[in-house]
Amino acid sequence: MRRRLAAGNWKMNGTAAALTELKALAGAFPSASVDVLICPPATLLHRAAEVAGDTGITVGGQDCHAATSGAHTGDISADMLADAGASAVILGHSERRTDHAEQNEDVRAKARAAMDAGLTTIICVGESLEQREAANTLDIIGGQMSGSIPDQSTGENLIVAYEPIWAIGTGKVPTLDEIGEVHDFIRSRLERRFGEGVGRSVRLLYGGSVKPSNAADIFGVSNVDGALVGGASLKAQDFSGIIDALERV
């Protein structure tokens, strides 16, 4: 039985004032059936962990370096995230693949470091509009999975997020059939590589313009175990609407 997860990716948004949203969210907890994770900017991680306290909400990072320490100005290691209170980290987000030219091998090395540090690793995969229109979606997702997901993955330390690039921040969402096709594909690839036990226990999140208004439909799709939410995770009211929808699945 996979526990459902609502994960919020604040991206490069939020100063200390944004913690009031997290406080509001924390006031509405705990949820018996849904895990809630907030990934604020690294500058807020420690304070966010304190605000989340023992509410059941957990916090995570948005990236980490593949090395444990060293001469890497501006970077943050997985151990540092854990030390600041993180229990998870998002890796291979399309914005990092684009802005920082991260390749599958980079994501895999980071994921190994994160897993070694005891973090749950949310590995993002997703196609561009051009790739979808050329009917290459499943090839792209399959390649990203085999390149980015490390061999040491388990149902505890790995979560896969399907985020079609063209759906991120655009208000455009794939059809429910399209989401289902990709999620079923990801599940079958995981089962083939890691065996049925592990393959079936890895949680799969959908991300890309998830809102309170479309969440219930998306959560009804097979092999969707929750969402990775950008814009709608910044406001407690919106994110609560998504959590509510997930609780009602």
CA angle 234, 21, 241 (to 5 degrees): 65
Residue 163 known to be catalytic: yes
Give phi and psi for 17, each to the nearest 5.
-60, -30
Indicate which single residue of 79, 106, 163, 225 sits in contact with ligand 13P (rule: CB under 6 A).
Answer: 163
246 and 6 Cβ atoms separated by less than 8 Å: yes
Nearer to ligand 13P, 11 or 199 (CB): 11
Q: Least Å distance between CB 204 and ligand 13P?
A: 14
Which 170-199 positions form the footprint of ligand 13P (CB under 6 A)? none
Instruction: Provide the mask over 66-95, with x wherever binding to ligand 13P is found by CB under 6 A and - wherever it is not.
Output: ---------------------------x--
Of 131, 14, 28, 4, the closest CA to residue 62 belongs to 14
Taking CA atoms, 93 is separated from 38, 105, 161, 224, in Å, by: 15, 14, 9, 18
Nearer to ligand 13P, 113 or 229 (CB): 229
Residue 72 known to be catalytic: no
Query: Helix (H, G, I), strand (E, B), or coil: what is residue 192?
Result: helix
| From 93, 95, 102, 183, active-site residue | 93
Query: Helix (H, G, I), strand (E, B), or coil: what is residue 169?
Result: coil
Residue 88 forms beta bridges with which residues?
60, 120
Which 22-61 positions form the footprint of ligand 13P (CB under 6 A)? none
Indicate which single residue of 36, 202, 210, 246 sits in contact with ligand 13P (rule: CB under 6 A).
Answer: 210
Catalytic residue positions, numbered: 93, 163
Binding site for ligand 13P (CB under 6 A): 9, 93, 163, 168-169, 207-210, 228-232
